[in-house]
Structure 1
Amino acid sequence: MSAPNKSYDPVEVQALKPEEIDRVRDEALAAIAAAGDLAALREVKTAHAGDRSPLALANREIGALPPHAKADAGKRVGRARGEVGQALKRRQEELEAERDARVLVEEAVDVTLPYDRTPGGARHPLTTLSERIEDIFTAMSWEVAEGPEVEAEWFNFDALNIAPDHPARSEQDTFFVRGPQRDGAPGRGDDDETGVVLRTHTSPVQIRSMLDRELPVYVICPGRVYRTDELDATHTPVFMQVEGLAVDEGLTMADLKGTLDHMVSSLFGEGVRTRLRPDHFPFTEPSAEMDMVCFVCRGASVGNPDRPCRTCGSEGWIELGGCGMVNPKVLVACGIDPERYSGFAFGFGIERMLMFRHNVEDMRDMVEGDVRFTRPFGMEI
């Protein structure tokens, strides 16, 4: 048996020759320096520092060397691999810094630009005013009632003591969905004998409330109504209305006046006086028109040419709407004993109240959908 070959020279292994290791190292360093981005650097790392790279394969050859030759060969290969590893780390840091600097430039956000280039929306003032009125009455324990906008003629006219020959029931004033049938007595609600209309007021909701609810009844009825009016500065064929109804034992005109005074002061400010003027409506008896003192001039423009008021026309008063005690015939139509119960009702146009409250001069501004009109009212909740 022969002794170990202690004279074996490791430089005779091609992969471990000093010049070969230097060549492989220099190729790796040149490839690292030429890598233009992180993706290219990852490919260079795999080719020159991966498990199948020339330096890794040379490192495997060290295991076949005799013990006394392994140390010198390991130092040469380890030194070369260390230089390649350090070069990879430095180049990666450089490329990452270049990438971050580029991202800061390409994806920069200019915080000095206007933040409101997309204008904010706004709720329509008719909606917010309607909800404010609802809040006033729900705070007094009233309920909010709603009803259909396509309504039976019986609910819209007959139950409200509006006679068949009343001008309001003509096609010149009312939108009919199905024509009225006059060959017999008017029917009740869904009966085929009654016509169908787009409701001309929210009073049908009052009728439905008296039919469906237990007494006493205290309801506020906001909603959209329809009339055959031309669209101009003071009229529109579709508008918002709010009506109130109270039916209980012992109600009087004093209760009506106190309720409306509270509503007016809540909407227009404390100290705004009101008055009732006699009038006539088929569904209330007695009936009245309600006026409030002009909230702009507070009556100071009356007889004073030096202080004219455009809001009230220097009359000192502004007409709000109609009101009165519920006609006993309406109570009877809803099955309520007028000898025991009485009630009061009122109705106001929300557009008209908005015009007074915010000095809106043209009603068409409310329906044309121009955000320049709605935006100044803001996002009131």
Structure 2
Amino acid sequence: MKSEKEIVVFLKNIFKEFLYELKNVQNVFQLDILKSQYLGKKSVLVKYLKNIKNFPLLLRKKRSIFLNTLKKDMLQQIFIKKKHLKNKIFKIHKNIIKYDVSLPGRRINQGGLHPITLMLNKIKKFFYNFGFVSLEGPEVEDEYHNFDALNVPKNHPSKRLSDTFWFDTKRLLRTQTSSMQIRALEKYKIPFRIIIPGKVYRHDLDMTHTPMFHQIEGLIIEPLISFSNLKWLLNSFLKHIFSSQIEIRFRTSFFPFTVPSLETDIKNVSGQWLEILGGGMVHPNVLKKFHVNSKKYSACAFGIGIERIAMIKYHIKDIRNFFENNIDFLKQFKSE
């Protein structure tokens, strides 16, 4: 076994060899090889560091200080050499590559909002001008808020598993933003005007339907609000979104939570009538649950499918285009 003095001399000679080889290093790749050779897992220095635990305590401390100092010095020399090599490369590149600062710079492509976001913003802005306030509600709903409180019968087809995404017997993904009407009636004092934008979920998938889509629900509770007021508001809304020249028709319909109820259609360029939104006067059974004085207040509600409006407005034939993240499709809306 080597004496302590012999080991110190041996390690100092290794350090001298290291410095000699370091001078001849020409690039970062060679430097990495040298580092691995002298400080890697199989290097002599690391082998001695691993064996320290086998020595007596006093000798262990002394040898540990010496070995770690040696390692630190090697790392310091490698760092200096690496910095020198990088500066050398930078100077070479600087001399080779010349920049003409008078040349025009590259233009950065400007992004744009998604057509659904554009339409949502446009619709919300319209209703804000009429004094509406925007609210948001939970997408995971309970049966009471999504169905029961909205006067939907227990055996209604919309409650079936083939139409609704159920988590268990009471919790589901909301099928309509109408559920937030109930939460608003529970939380806020009347009168109020609210819109509720958000995602809703139904079992449906084809060119005009997806399992998740966007909807805006509107609710007005005020003294003397009438069916005529609702028709005027929806008429103004559609003319604002599409054109003042667009043909609109209202026809009777049925929803469990409104009576009377209506569907609103617009005529397209081909002369076809397209169903666009629904609404009506809030059913008395809904208002009774919240002790609304029907002699003083009346209420109307409406529901707007955002994808439906956007498809007609922007002449989109397949609803699935909204969710495919196709750059060529999306960049069409940058100017909107």
After TM superposition, is the score higher than 0.5? yes
In the TM superposition, residue 178 of structure 1 has moved relative to its aligned partner by 2.1
Aligned residue type for 2:177:
T
Of residues 199, 223, 232, the one that matches 2:198 is: 223
Of residues 222, 228, 240, the one that matches 1:248 is: 222
- 5+ long unaligned stretches in structure 1: 1-98, 180-194, 298-308
The match for 2:331 is 375
The match for 1:332 is 288
CA contact (8 A) 1:159 1:334 kept: no
Distance, in Å, in 2 between the alignment partners of 1:275 and 1:369 is 35
Aligned residue type for 2:137:
G
Q: How many residues were matched structurally?
A: 247
Distance, in Å, in 1 between the alignment partners of 2:193 and 2:95 is 65
> Which string of whole-angstrom CA distances, capped at 9 and with x for unpartnered residues, describes residues 114-142 of structure 1?
834x6443221101110110110111111
The match for 1:353 is 309
Distance, in Å, in 1 between the alignment partners of 2:207 and 2:110 is 28
The match for 1:213 is 188
Distance, in Å, in 1 between the alignment partners of 2:224 and 2:189 is 17
In the TM superposition, residue 113 of structure 1 has moved relative to its aligned partner by 7.8
The match for 2:70 is none
> Which string of whole-angstrom CA distances, capped at 9 and with x for unpartnered residues, describes residues 179-209 of structure 1?
2xxxxxxxxxxxxxxx111000100111111
Distance 1:362 1:113, change over 3 A: farther
Q: Secondary structure in 1 aligned to 2:241? A: helix
Distance, in Å, in 2 between the alignment partners of 1:282 and 1:233 is 27
> Which string of whole-angstrom CA distances, capped at 9 and with x for unpartnered residues, describes residues 220-239 of structure 1?
11110000112x21110000
Which protein shows a greater Rg?
A: 1
Aligned residue type for 2:244:
E
Of residues 127, 141, 149, the one that matches 1:151 is: 141
Distance, in Å, in 2 between the alignment partners of 1:343 and 1:169 is 25
* 262-271 or 160-169: bigger deviation: 262-271
In the TM superposition, residue 112 of structure 1 has moved relative to its aligned partner by 5.9
CA contact (8 A) 1:283 1:330 kept: yes
Q: Secondary structure in 2 aligned to 1:175? A: coil
- 5+ long unaligned stretches in structure 2: 1-89
Of residues 92, 108, 114, the one that matches 1:124 is: 114
In the TM superposition, residue 103 of structure 1 has moved relative to its aligned partner by 4.2
Distance, in Å, in 2 between the alignment partners of 1:205 and 1:223 is 10
Distance, in Å, in 2 between the alignment partners of 1:318 and 1:272 is 12
TM-score normalised to structure 1 length: 0.61
1:176 aligns with 2:166: yes
> Which string of whole-angstrom CA distances, capped at 9 and with x for unpartnered residues, describes residues 264-315 of structure 1?
1111122323221011110000011111233xx3xxxxxxxxxxx2xxxx33
Distance 1:132 1:207, change over 3 A: same
Distance, in Å, in 1 between the alignment partners of 2:100 and 2:326 is 32
Distance, in Å, in 2 between the alignment partners of 1:377 and 1:130 is 14
Q: Secondary structure in 2 aligned to 1:108? A: coil
TM-score normalised to structure 2 length: 0.69
Aligned residue type for 1:239:
F
Of residues 270, 280, 291, the one that matches 2:265 is: 291
> Which string of whole-angstrom CA distances, capped at 9 and with x for unpartnered residues, describes residues 331-377 of structure 1?
11233222322111111110000010010000010011222221111
